[in-house]
Amino acid sequence: MMSDDPDKPGPAAPAASQVASQAASPVAACPICGKPRLPQFRPFCSKRCADVDLNRWLSGVYAVPVTEDDDEDGDAVDRNEEGGR
């Protein structure tokens, strides 16, 4: 039962780290296989899943889309006019 006396301290409030950990979402899933992530292989669950992801990047399965940049005057850049870069 709680005391109504304002001078008497009540139960200690939980530390900020405890509150943050309680409010955190459940362990996120590995993006490759869906198992729970492990800190040493973050964001994956194992070295195997990390290697699978690396292989996908190196073999071109994953690609970052690229768009052609316009020149300062609004014309499309012709790569042949830039000195063969």
pLDDT score for 48 = 97
Query: Tens digit of pLDDT for each residue in 21-55?
Result: 444 556 789 999 999 999 999 999 999 999 999 99
Q: Give a yes or no: residue 36 inside a domain.
A: yes
Write the CATH number for 32: 3.30.50.10
Mean pLDDT in residue range 48-68: 91
Which one has a higher pLDDT value, 63 or 30? 30
Q: Give a yes or no: residue 41 inside a domain.
A: yes
Q: Give a yes or no: residue 84 inside a domain.
A: no
Residues 6+ apart with CB under 8 A from 11: none
Q: Give a yes or no: residue 47 inside a domain.
A: yes
Which one has a higher pLDDT value, 11 or 39? 39
Mean pLDDT in residue range 59-66: 88
Q: Which domain holds residue 39?
A: 26-60
Q: Give a yes or no: residue 9 inside a domain.
A: no
pLDDT score for 17 = 47
CA distance linking residue 39 with residue 37, whole number of Å: 7
Work out how many domains the chain is built from and give that number: 1
